[in-house]
Amino acid sequence: MHEEAMLRDLVRKAEEVAQREGAARVTRVRLWVGARSHLAGPELKDRWSHAVSGTPLSGAEVEIETSRDRLDPNAENVMLRSLDVEPGKERP
């Protein structure tokens, strides 16, 4: 359950960033995964694709950097590193 909440929080943050940037859609998402996080590699990519279905994040390439430092203060977390966006049309 903790993993689902963490994933929903990541999606919410990414959507907020995309909206702030005026993105028509997101083309790439970069995530950082702590060494003690229960969300990892292929499982995270699969769960991410389901979590973002129907959002501007849907279809974006996902890059995951996994830390091996079990003593890192964020070792139990998954963090949004950055987004690449496709700009929306400017309003007159």
DSSP code string of 11-33: HHHHHHHHHHTTEEEEEEEEEEE
State the average pLDDT over residues 55-66: 92
Query: Is 61 within a domain?
Result: yes
Query: Is 92 within a domain?
Result: no
CB-based contacts of 41, cutoff 8 Å, min separation 6: 33, 64, 66
CA 30, 32, 33, 35 torsion-angle sign = positive
Give me the pLDDT at residue 65, please: 94
| Count of domains forming the chain | 1
Contact yes or no for 89/22 (Cβ under 8 A): no
Tokens of 38: 């229960």
Query: Is 77 within a domain?
Result: yes
State the average pLDDT over residues 49-71: 92
pLDDT of 91 > 90? The answer is no
pTM of the full structure? 0.85
**CATH number of the CATH domain containing 18:** 3.30.2320.50
For 50, the domain range is: 2-87
